[in-house]
Amino acid sequence: MKSRRDFIKETASASMVICCGVSAVSLLQSCTSAKQITVEIRNKTIRVSKSEFTDNSYLVVANMALPAPIYLHKISDEEYSAFLMLCTHNKCELDATSKMLVCPCHGSEFDLKGNVTEGPAEDALLQFSVTVNENEIIIDLNK
């Protein structure tokens, strides 16, 4: 028969294993980083190969000439959207996730259509026109 002390010790150890397991999974999920690529801008246009999308639903597209990276979201093989990752509240660079964009400065949140879902920002993100051909996604920086 187990003593009360042994029972408490075993229960506490099992709880620690469960808690650590859950924490490790949460930590790994939150540490999953976005795929970022650096691109060239030619004639105010960015071309991204469709092959950059494998199991990811979005890319962070960077170029030093941009005020912030572009969030390129894959809606389907033929449909993509592109937003400047610059908060419309006070111009902080946004953090990207597969579900939303979040401002680290004051907590504004934007959905995958660039609309504000949580303030203090009031205006939607700057959206670029995107066209698609067989192999590429073309982001037009003029629009």
**Contact positions vs ligand FES (CB under 6 A):** 87, 89-90, 92, 103, 105-108, 120-121
Is 12 in a helix, a strand, or coil? helix
Residues contacting 128, CB < 8 A, separation 6+: 70, 82, 83, 84, 139, 140, 141, 143
**Nearest residue (CB) to ligand FES, 96 versus 121:** 121
**Nearest residue (CB) to ligand FES, 46 versus 96:** 96
State the minimum distance, in angstroms, from the CB of residue 89 to ligand FES.
3
State the minimum distance, in angstroms, from the CB of residue 27 to ligand FES.
26
**Nearest residue (CB) to ligand FES, 47 versus 89:** 89
Pairwise CA distance, residues 50 & 123, whole Å: 30
- DSSP element (H, E) containing 19: helix 4-31
**Nearest residue (CB) to ligand FES, 6 versus 95:** 95
Instruction: Identify the residue whose tokens are 């105010």.
Output: 44
State the minimum distance, in angstroms, from the CB of residue 45 to ligand FES.
28
State the minimum distance, in angstroms, from the CB of residue 102 to ligand FES.
9
- DSSP element (H, E) containing 62: strand 58-62
